[in-house]
Amino acid sequence: MTTFNVGYIVGSLAKGSINRQLAHALARLAPPQLELVEIPIKDLPLYSYDYDADYPAVARAFKQAIAGVDGVLFVTPEYNRSIPGALKNAIDWASRPWGKNSFARKPSGIIGTSPGAIGTAVVQAQLRGMLCFCNSPLMNTLEAYIQFKPGLIAEDGTVTNESTAEFLGNYMKELHLHIERVLTVHPRAN
């Protein structure tokens, strides 16, 4: 059985983020072929091409973390019908300097939760456009826009609603299949 390492990036910087809770729940629901680890973004300075000649250590570590995983899962809220600034900044760091895009040929998925009824549909559509430009093969189905309600995820990461837990478990199975398919066609360079 091949195990794939998946780095997840939480689009919120808040410690108590409901998307961080969702990420922990997804790690619990993932099939045994997936090992999830967070790739933090909170310490990245604001990107400027002035750094391209000499990336700060935190940005180099961020790019190395992405290089070290088989796939990336974005778990993000939607801020003002758009991408959270910290997440946009992280994508800019990872995709630069020109010719050193960390997302190129890296399979990815997007999921998010929000108290709103449409979940995170708008941010996900915007992220899809950005990640396509970054040449990251995206899992386009199953789409997942989760409406968060108090108590949906217990402190230990257990999803309390049975149908939501089943849906999220299926999402993680599909993510596994997506990563496996992409890496079969485009194996990682050693």
CA 23 to chain centre: 9
Q: Does residue 34 form part of some domain? A: yes
Report pLDDT for 189. 66
Report pLDDT for 5. 98
Report pLDDT for 85. 97
Q: Extract the residue ranges of the chain whose pLDDT is less than 50.
A: none
Using CA atoms, how far apart are residues 22 and 171, in angstroms rounded to an integer? 12
What residue has token string 């600034």?
85
The domain total for the chain is 1
Q: Does residue 190 form part of some domain? A: no
Report pLDDT for 1. 75
Q: Does residue 74 form part of some domain? A: yes
> For residue 43, what are the domain limits?
4-185
Q: Does residue 21 form part of some domain? A: yes
Helix (H/G/I), strand (E/B), else coil: 31: coil
Report pLDDT for 71. 98
Report pLDDT for 187. 77
Using CA atoms, how far apart are residues 112 and 147, in angstroms rounded to an integer? 9
Query: What is the pTM assigned to this prediction?
Result: 0.95
Q: Which CATH number fits the domain that encloses residue 149?
A: 3.40.50.360
